[in-house]
Structure 1
Amino acid sequence: MRFMDASPLTARVTGLSCQQEDDRFTLRWHWTTEIEAVYIERSAVDGGPDGGSLRLYTKAEYKANNGYPGRMEGIGRYIYTVYACQEDDQGPFLIRQTDGENALAISSGRARIQYEIQQKSGWFRSGKTIQIQVMTEVPIGKDVLCYVKKQGGYPAGKEDGVLYPFVSDFAPGRTVLPSFEIGKQDYVRLFFTNGQKYGQLYELVPM
């Protein structure tokens, strides 16, 4: 499909909005008189699975459905972009807008990540044994989580101590990680490696 940058002479999509209810949503926008069809693109952000191709949607379909209905699937945020479709002597082409009025982000919810940190120590031991268990609803990449060790108390954030990455991805369900030894005055807690990014995709809670 050909694209052309928007200009004062081309049609534009404006007033794009979204109404969400449970796992369903409806997109609505303003149709100008010269637009009879649009193409809708769904693309993933923040590392989610990509949505793929463009979909043709006509003004007649829009009127029949009172908008563009869709269903939120998977976990993460998606960008829906509505491109006005026009034609010239070479055929149809789509209008690429730079004002952002034809694009909207929709969140499909956060997946829950539960974790438990068990520690065992004894009177005659110089350290203690730590075992981490992670329970997740969806596959999680190893770069999403990390654990932080701090001496004298629990770390308040991933910068508050020594950060350790995980070496393997997490499959859905319960993962019991190999135990390891730390000092008797050391404490461990799990964090997102990037709270701003992954906090929009996942909810990290203790079991």
Structure 2
Amino acid sequence: MRYIEHSPDLPAITDITSRVEDRTCTLRWRWPDGLQAVYIHKGPGGGEHPEEDSRPPGSLKLYTREEYKAGGGYYDRLEEIGLVVYTVFARVTENGETLLVRQRDGENRTTVSAGKARIYYAIDRKRGLFRKEQTVHMTITAEVPVGREVLCYVKKRGGYPADKEDGIRFPFVQDFAPGRNALPPIEIGKDDHIRIFFTDGPKYGRYYELVPE
């Protein structure tokens, strides 16, 4: 598989549109006469486009005209956050070799916003009648995979911490899978309070929204 530069006698993808709803992206485009299949590349926004490389990347998905007609477009679940770029390459063959038509005009490319992924958190405190400590159960519910380095929890005596520096900060020791993540219970003092924060608000606040349940 390799690129071939677009020329007037080669097919080109045009009129590409995109729509995102419930974290599903729908792509539609105009199929040139005679073209039976395309390859679709998906990558992060802000980076280099795949056609700038000398050879096509490995992360390409073959999609046929029949599949497109049956589904009324191309549908893709967005597990990413931030900007996502889709590039649709016309596929042609020459002497049994697969060629991808490289379009320098960008008409075969569209950018969508996957938005901020929400991270819901819940903190449940329980204390026995005659105990000096209290047991804390924390639950993280994520829309997408979240690395352990994104979040931390802060413990403060006598009141709730106002930010990540307002108390003793602790890291999480495991990544968070999409869905509900119930963390092992921890023991804290009877006058201690806990809150969850981003480890780097300006950095991770661009991609995630931290929401108390």
- Work out whether the TM-score is over 0.5: yes
Task: State the TM-score, normalized to the length of structure 2.
Answer: 0.58
Partner amino acid, structure 2, of 1:136: T
Which structure 1 residue ranges, 5 or more long, are not aligned?
46-51
Using the TM superposition, give the Cα deviation of residue 89 of structure 1 relative to its aligned residue in structure 2, in angstroms.
5.1
Say whether 1:115 aligns with 2:119: no
Structure 2 Cα separation of the partners of residues 42 and 25 of structure 1: 11
Q: Partner of 2:50 in structure 1?
A: none
Partner amino acid, structure 2, of 1:134: T
Q: Partner of 2:3 in structure 1?
A: 3
Using the TM superposition, give the Cα deviation of residue 193 of structure 1 relative to its aligned residue in structure 2, in angstroms.
3.4
Say whether 1:19 aligns with 2:19: yes
Task: State the TM-score, normalized to the length of structure 1.
Answer: 0.59
Structure 1 Cα separation of the partners of residues 205 and 158 of structure 2: 28
> Pick from 180, 195, 206: which aligns with 1:189?
195
SS at match of 1:16: strand
Question: Over aligned residue pairs, what C-alpha RMSD do you find?
Answer: 4.6
SS at match of 1:168: coil
Structure 1 Cα separation of the partners of residues 21 and 176 of structure 2: 31
Count of aligned pairs: 191
Q: Partner of 2:63 in structure 1?
A: 56
Q: Partner of 2:141 in structure 1?
A: 136
Say whether 1:165 aligns with 2:171: yes
Using the TM superposition, give the Cα deviation of residue 38 of structure 1 relative to its aligned residue in structure 2, in angstroms.
1.7
Identical-pair percentage: 33
